[in-house]
Structure 1
Amino acid sequence: MRVVTARKYGSPDVFRVENWEIPSPQKNEIRIQNHNGAVNSADWRLRKPDPKLVRLFFGILKPKQPVLGISFAGVVDAVGKNVTKFQIGDKVFGSTGMQMGGYAEYICINESSVMTTLPKEISFPQGAALPFGSLTAIDFLQKSKIQKDQTIIIYGASSSVGTATIQLAKHMGAVVTAVCSAGNFSLVKSIGADFVMDYDSFHSESHNKTYDVVFECVGKSSIPSNLKHLTKGGVLVLVGASFKDMFQAAWISLSRGIQIKFGPIKETLENLNYITELAKKGKFKVVIDKSFPLESMSMAHQYVEAGHKKGNVVIDIIN
């Protein structure tokens, strides 16, 4: 099978296409013929690595797992002897989590992983694009305890996490303001944003409104600039926080009693099933910007890392 490896940390040029033996599933695993993957912000941060603290968990000198990729969508083509949830021929999608391995034609994964059956209403590309942004968004929204009629401003609203946050926050009854480039106003309005503004307007002196939740998706605005727009007792979410941001946020939370949420998310099957049901009913749209073939992983990473994508970038593995 074809896999794309990153055998060292660095720029997108580190990727190589290799041929590996097709793996056999263990007794509690299924093997998936992977049709589509996705490139997310977590992928390029692990590859780079950013923050450098990543090395402590994924390998000091080089990645312990050379095959990156968290999201997948494909067809079960083999099952371990103890598997009961899935059978050969099932269409499935989900997240490999920190096991990674999604940049490959075949994946072996425990049947209890965060994955579920792919409904007929959702395509393989949509299935691969759905987990990362939406599972990140819903976990942080749950941690924020957002309530009906509360206000939320989403910085980087046209990103993968941003487009998911708009829709999920609206579904929870919040009033949503989206911050993005003017060229993406129509996109964020089409998926539910009540108000829009560009980045210059967000940072302008005339912008003095406060919000119950300030949701920073892309790690490009400072903590003080976000706190300026946070209602007293509100919650600041830092999805793309750097190590420096995390340290500063922890100190502010401790010293000033301000709620700031950051750090790893908890991916759950319950949340994946919840979002899948919304997508089935047409209440959640998976936004896909571009797709790249598996062999063009370097180009896909360059595009995603540049920070201008709209929604998700998909990898075509089986055409």
Structure 2
Amino acid sequence: MKAIVQDRYGSPDVLEFRAVDTPVADDDEVLVEVHAASVNAADWHIMRGDPYIARLTGSGVGGLRAPASKIRGCDFAGRVAATGRNVTGFEPGDEVFGDLGPRGGTFAEFVAVPAGQVAHKPSNLTFEQAAAVPLAANTALIGLRDDAKVQAGQRVLINGASGGVGTFAVQLAKSYGAEVTAVCSTRNAALVRDLGADHVVDYTREDFTRNGRRYDVLFDLVGNHSLGAFRRALTPEGVFLLSGGGTSEGGSLVGPMGLFVKAQLMARFVRQRLVTVVEVPSSANLVALRELIEAGEITPVIDRIYPLGEAAEAIRYVEREHARAKVVVTV
């Protein structure tokens, strides 16, 4: 099969479009013929080994000189090609979507995925739209539903509302009955309003950490303020959700992990809840998202679509250009 492969850390120039062995599904896996995959910030972070400290974590994702997995791409949509002998609920030909997690492998014609990380595709989405959902929407779901437990009437601010996770977070928070403030640039204000945001803060004109407003939940997807500034925008018992942050600037030692560590150290001493959102692939969450999508509560937004052979350019666009919502690769 053809895939996007890297043998060392570096810029998108290290990615090669070449033939590799087609994977075989283990007993508990599903082999999927990939029709589309999406680009996430995790792809360029792992591609570059940035932040550098992540290369030393021993997580099975990074390595000293190259990622443990040579094929990038976390989420996908496609058709089941084969199933392992322990797998139930899926048959060859089923339309599915899923999340392979940070080890990657979906920028390829086929991918073998644990059955617990796959679900049947929403019936009202194309493969391209469905591929845009898993990682980003699951991150938003875990942060808002599980970590913050957002309730109707709460004030929720999404910093980075026009990005991949942000566009889903705006819609999910609205579906829970929250009053949503979206932080984005001027060019994306109309987009986030169309997704349901009640208020928009244009960060090129206003600093939400200094305008005196307070929020019950602050979901940060950018990492562009200090921990003290973020806490200043929270109510005394508010919840601060940390996830991702930044664009590529040529390499960093700790990157957004510095903010995460500071929050973890401070969390035990303050009334506010400071939570690092950990995205864990889950078929149950994919089913929950599918139900919301089929009910019309949330919908993916796609900025650009690239063919598989141009996946390097897709990643380059995401890491440099502040992409609106999701960028998708078709196979």
Shorter-chain TM-score bucket reads: over 0.9
> Alpha carbon RMSD of aligned pairs, Å?
1.6
Aligned residues: 316
TM-score of the superposed pair, with normalisation by structure 2: 0.91
Q: Which residue of 2 aligns with 1:32?
A: 32
Matched letter for residue 316 of structure 1:
T
Q: Which residue of 2 aligns with 1:131?
A: 134
What CA distance in whole angstroms lies between the structure 2 residues aligned with 1:210 and 1:247? 24
Point out where structure 1 has 5 or more consecutive residues left out of the alignment.
none
TM-score of the superposed pair, with normalisation by structure 1: 0.94
- 1:246 and 2:260 matched: yes
Q: Which residue of 2 aligns with 1:23?
A: 23
Report the Cα offset of residue 201 of structure 1.
4.2
Q: Which residue of 2 aligns with 1:3?
A: 3
Question: Pick from 164, 171, 181: which aligns with 1:160?
Answer: 164
- 1:276 and 2:290 matched: yes
What CA distance in whole angstroms lies between the structure 2 residues aligned with 1:10 and 1:205? 35
Percent identity at matched positions?
35
Q: Which residue of 2 aligns with 1:311?
A: 325
What CA distance in whole angstroms lies between the structure 1 residues aligned with 2:189 and 2:3? 37
What CA distance in whole angstroms lies between the structure 2 residues aligned with 1:140 and 1:202? 25
Change (3 A) 1:78 1:66: same
Report the Cα offset of residue 215 of structure 1.
1.0
Change (3 A) 1:153 1:263: closer
What CA distance in whole angstroms lies between the structure 1 residues aligned with 2:269 and 2:177? 32
Q: Judge conservation of contact 2:142–2:277 (CA < 8 Å) in 1.
A: no
Q: Which residue of 2 aligns with 1:48?
A: 48
Runs of 4+, deviation exceeding 3 Å? none
What CA distance in whole angstroms lies between the structure 2 residues aligned with 1:305 and 1:210? 31
Point out where structure 2 has 5 or more consecutive residues left out of the alignment.
246-255
What CA distance in whole angstroms lies between the structure 2 residues aligned with 1:115 and 1:204? 38
Q: Judge conservation of contact 1:236–1:260 (CA < 8 Å) in 2.
A: yes
SS at match of 1:244: helix
Report the Cα offset of residue 206 of structure 1.
6.2
Q: Which residue of 1 aligns with 2:253?
A: none
Change (3 A) 1:206 1:74: closer
Change (3 A) 1:202 1:234: farther
Matched ranges for 1:260-271 at <5 A? 260-271=274-285
Question: Pick from 242, 246, 270: which aligns with 1:256?
Answer: 270
Report the Cα offset of residue 167 of structure 1.
0.5
Q: Judge conservation of contact 1:2–1:20 (CA < 8 Å) in 2.
A: yes
- 1:119 and 2:122 matched: yes
SS at match of 1:121: coil
Q: Which residue of 1 aligns with 2:248?
A: none
Q: Judge conservation of contact 2:74–2:105 (CA < 8 Å) in 1.
A: yes
